[in-house]
């Protein structure tokens, strides 16, 4: 399944709306190279770090794409006012050196660093923060989800060039992160696109930031080739300049090819399919050159089946919550865990982590039960009226639908095959609709699919407004299932305004109950992270966010004697 890390998602959804707290202890096969010191990072500057992408990013221009491959790259180019320590989860300054909060919790004041420059040498100041906010809120720009994310902000002002004030219209429990994690755009570079929004939206590489790396445009071939390359930003203002001279992402859409590339030393790390991982973690050749990580992180997230209530403007069978419940009863999640994920996953029954306080432990998950599903469908009015093995509704329309999934993902294919057989036992005709991930995202945006499997990143406290609130149906990229429940809307609104943590958690547990009753998604599994890392990479460790391979500032390095260029 694809884990959707959306536009304002690595910067906002993953960090703002998806919280991070404690995590389970990882299982590490092999030696853990975590002996780095600041001195070692300085001495061993250089070389390159190479990873893979399952698909070529359609664009790196900020705020345009839904695809996580783009967000993984842009985080090294753009910075925000604050960042989060990957080990402790604590907030710390980035473009802002300090901040304060008013007593009523509605005003956030940031003092900015004065020595910051963008990668083209132009200075950064408060005007760039104001520009970024106004750029996102500008309806002409038509930024996906832009104004929706920021609508709780009443105003953004700059009393002086190095001070920015965010005022909120109402309390929001993640107000600091919403303001602090906004990727900042340079006004001098992007302002011309306010007069030509179409040019901005059609662009691929309009990237200029204050981060430690910048796009190597020649090596990246305007995103038409087989790799994306970042090089060090020579003007970077921060203390940590980035340990590697280059960060390289090779586009390899086949899992077997990725494994071969890793074995050959062409990749420094790969994520591995469960059935392959079960073999590799005992492979002597792999263990000789690799650290093998198996862990369930706090932000591990979940996979799901999204039942689209309105497809291409027409109501589907899945608009009826009774039908969705029947589909959940027909979905054998434990079998998916055992046969598709080889035990490297656990059953999910909500968007919330089972280890967090949002999860309502009093709720009993739905178990696989074909008889119950058939009874529900019969009550709705479905039966096989013509003896062809497929049930029909009262008007005689057969229960047939397409199931869309990312063709690059072997686990998605296996889940789809399993579901097709399971649903057929209840007289439902499901046809497979594999699509490249880029097309799948378009179908979500268009709401042109009937049912699909995908995933969301997670945490111990999630803000699910964007996925399930009815305000996010029209013109939004997040409630792409067209789900509407007035009771849930009101409950989410109240919960988000509740600052007291204990009161808020009690409300989240009520939200869980509504989702359980309605089944807008059939929640499938929480997957473990299964990752191989070449031993030449030092100081690799598991944090609240997962492996620190992508943490900023970069903490990993390769000794001079083992570096590649």
Q: What is the rounded CA–CA span in Å between residue 256 and residue 361?
A: 40
Structural contact between residues 76 and 213, judged by C-beta atoms closer than 8 angstroms: yes
- Within 13 Å of residue 227, how many CA atoms lie on the same side as its CB? 15
Q: Counting Cβ atoms within 10 Å, is residue 213 exposed (0-12), middle (13-18) or buried (19+)?
A: buried
Helix (H) or strand (E) holding 193: none
| Distance in angstroms between the alpha carbons of the first and the last residue of the chain | 33
Coil vs helix vs strand at 377: helix
Helix (H) or strand (E) holding 183: none
Report the 10 Å Cβ neighbour count for 198: 10
Q: Where are the alpha helices (H) located in 305-426, listed in sequence order?
A: 321-329, 333-335, 370-380, 410-424
Eight-state DSSP code of residue 7: T
Structural contact between residues 151 and 469, judged by C-beta atoms closer than 8 angstroms: no
Beta bridge partners of 49: 247
| Residue among 500, 419, 398 nearest 173 (CA) | 500
**Structure confidence at residue 241 (pLDDT):** 77
Domain residue limits, the chain: 3-296+528-562, 302-527
**Structure confidence at residue 244 (pLDDT):** 94
Q: Counting Cβ atoms within 10 Å, is residue 126 exposed (0-12), middle (13-18) or buried (19+)?
A: buried
CA distances from 517 to 295, 328, 329, 382, 470 (A): 31, 11, 13, 21, 17
- To which CATH superfamily is domain 302-527 assigned? Dipeptide-binding Protein; Domain 3 (3.10.105.10)
| Residue among 231, 246, 250, 220 nearest 52 (CA) | 250
Q: What are 277's two structure tokens? A: 């991982």
Q: What are 339's two structure tokens? A: 């046969």
Q: What is the rounded CA–CA span in Å between residue 144 and residue 62?
A: 11
Based on its alpha-carbon atoms, the radius of gyration of the chain, rounded to whole angstroms, reads 24
Beta strands 3-4 and 451-456, pairing class = parallel
> Nearest 5°: CA angle at 75, between 72 and 76?
105
For helices 321-329 and 370-380, the axis angle rounded to 10 degrees is 160
Fold matches, 3-296+528-562 and 302-527: no
Q: What are 505's two structure tokens? A: 């958690």
Report the 10 Å Cβ neighbour count for 531: 22
Q: Counting Cβ atoms within 10 Å, is residue 284 exposed (0-12), middle (13-18) or buried (19+)?
A: exposed
- To which CATH superfamily is domain 3-296+528-562 assigned? Periplasmic binding protein-like II (3.40.190.10)
| Residue among 270, 287, 272, 291 nearest 28 (CA) | 291
Structural contact between residues 412 and 406, judged by C-beta atoms closer than 8 angstroms: yes
Q: What are phi and psi of 130, to 5 degrees?
A: -60, -40
Report the 10 Å Cβ neighbour count for 509: 19
Report the 10 Å Cβ neighbour count for 475: 12
**Structure confidence at residue 421 (pLDDT):** 97
Report the 10 Å Cβ neighbour count for 13: 26
Give the residue carrying structure tokens 């409630």.
479
**Structure confidence at residue 66 (pLDDT):** 61
Q: What are phi and psi of 501, to 5 degrees?
A: -65, -45
Q: Counting Cβ atoms within 10 Å, is residue 464 exposed (0-12), middle (13-18) or buried (19+)?
A: buried
Q: What is the rounded CA–CA span in Å between residue 93 and residue 235?
A: 19
Return the biggest CA–CA distance within the chain: 76
- pLDDT tens for the 565 residues of the chain, in order: 333 333 333 334 444 444 433 333 334 443 344 444 456 666 678 999 999 998 888 899 999 876 778 888 999 999 999 998 877 778 999 999 999 999 999 999 999 999 999 999 999 999 999 999 999 999 899 887 666 678 889 999 999 999 999 999 999 999 999 999 999 999 999 999 999 999 999 999 999 999 999 999 999 988 988 999 999 999 999 987 788 999 999 999 888 999 999 999 999 999 998 989 988 988 999 999 999 999 887 667 899 999 999 999 999 999 999 999 999 999 999 999 999 999 999 999 999 988 889 999 999 999 999 999 999 999 999 999 999 999 999 999 999 999 999 998 889 999 999 999 999 999 999 999 999 888 998 899 899 999 999 999 887 789 999 899 999 898 666 899 999 999 999 999 999 999 899 999 999 999 999 999 999 999 999 999 999 999 999 999 988 778 888 888 888 999 999 998 7
| Residue among 555, 503, 486, 522 nearest 35 (CA) | 555
Report the 10 Å Cβ neighbour count for 486: 8
- Within 13 Å of residue 215, how many CA atoms lie on the same side as its CB? 24
Structural contact between residues 250 and 52, judged by C-beta atoms closer than 8 angstroms: yes
**Structure confidence at residue 6 (pLDDT):** 35
Structural contact between residues 159 and 129, judged by C-beta atoms closer than 8 angstroms: no
């Amino acid at each position: 399944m694809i884990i959707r890390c959306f536009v304002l998602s690595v910067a906002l959804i993953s960090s703002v709306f998806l919280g991070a707290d404690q995590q389970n202890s990882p299982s590490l096969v092999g030696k853990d190279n975590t002996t780095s010191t600041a001195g070692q990072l300085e001495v061993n500057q250089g070389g390159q770090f190479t990873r893979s992408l399952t698909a070529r990013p359609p664009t790196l221009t900020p705020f345009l794409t839904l695809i996580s491959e783009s967000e993984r790259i842009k985080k090294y180019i753009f910075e925000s006012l604050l960042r989060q320590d990957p080990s402790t989860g604590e907030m710390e300054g980035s473009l802002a050196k300090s901040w304060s909060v008013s007593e009523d919790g509605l005003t956030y004041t940031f003092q900015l660093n004065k020595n910051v420059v963008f990668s083209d040498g132009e200075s950064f100041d408060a005007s760039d923060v104001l520009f970024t906010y106004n750029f996102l809120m500008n309806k002409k720009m038509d930024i996906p989800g832009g104004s929706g994310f920021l609508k709780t902000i009443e105003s953004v002002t700059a009393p002086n060039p190095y001070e920015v004030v965010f005022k909120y219209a109402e309390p929001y429990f993640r107000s600091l992160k919403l303001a602090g994690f906004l990727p900042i755009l340079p006004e001098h570079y992007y302002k011309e696109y306010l007069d030509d929004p179409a040019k901005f939206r059609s662009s691929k590489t309009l990237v200029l930031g204050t981060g430690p790396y910048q796009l190597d445009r020649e090596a990246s071939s305007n995103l038409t080739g087989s790799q994306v390359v970042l090089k060090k930003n020579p003007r970077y203002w921060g203390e940590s300049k980035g340990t590697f001279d280059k960060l390289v992402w090779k586009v390899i859409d086949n899992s077997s090819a990725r494994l071969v590339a890793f074995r050959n030393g062409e990749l420094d790390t790969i994520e591995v399919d469960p059935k392959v991982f079960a073999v590799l973690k005992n492979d002597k050749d792999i263990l000789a050159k690799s650290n093998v990580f198996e862990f369930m992180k706090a932000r591990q997230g979940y996979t799901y089946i999204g039942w689209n209530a309105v497809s291409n403007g027409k109501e589907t069978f899945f608009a009826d919550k009774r039908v969705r419940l029947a589909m959940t009863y027909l979905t054998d999640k434990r079998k998916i865990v055992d046969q598709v994920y080889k035990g490297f996953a656990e059953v999910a029954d909500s968007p919330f982590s089972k280890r967090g306080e949002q999860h309502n432990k009093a709720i009993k998950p739905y178990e696989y039960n074909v008889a119950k599903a058939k009874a529900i469908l019969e009550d709705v009015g479905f039966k096989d009226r013509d003896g062809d093995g497929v049930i029909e509704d009262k008007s005689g329309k057969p229960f047939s639908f397409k199931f869309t999934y990312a063709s690059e993902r072997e686990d998605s294919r296996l889940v789809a095959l399993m579901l097709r057989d399971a649903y057929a036992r209840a007289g439902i005709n499901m046809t497979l609709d594999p699509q490249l991930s880029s097309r799948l995202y378009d179908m979500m945006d268009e709401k042109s699919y009937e049912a699909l499997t995908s995933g969301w990143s997670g945490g111990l406290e999630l803000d699910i407004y964007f996925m399930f609130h009815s305000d996010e149906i029209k013109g939004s990229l997040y409630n792409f299932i067209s789900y509407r429940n007035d009771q849930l809307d009101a409950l989410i609104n109240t919960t988000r305004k509740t600052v007291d943590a204990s009161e808020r958690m009690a409300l989240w547990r009520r939200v869980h109950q509504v989702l359980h009753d309605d089944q807008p998604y059939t929640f499938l599994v929480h997957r473990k992270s299964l990752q191989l890392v070449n031993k030449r990479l030092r100081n690799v460790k598991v944090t609240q966010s997962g492996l620190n391979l992508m943490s900023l500032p970069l903490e990993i390095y390769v000794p001079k004697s083992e570096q590649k260029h």
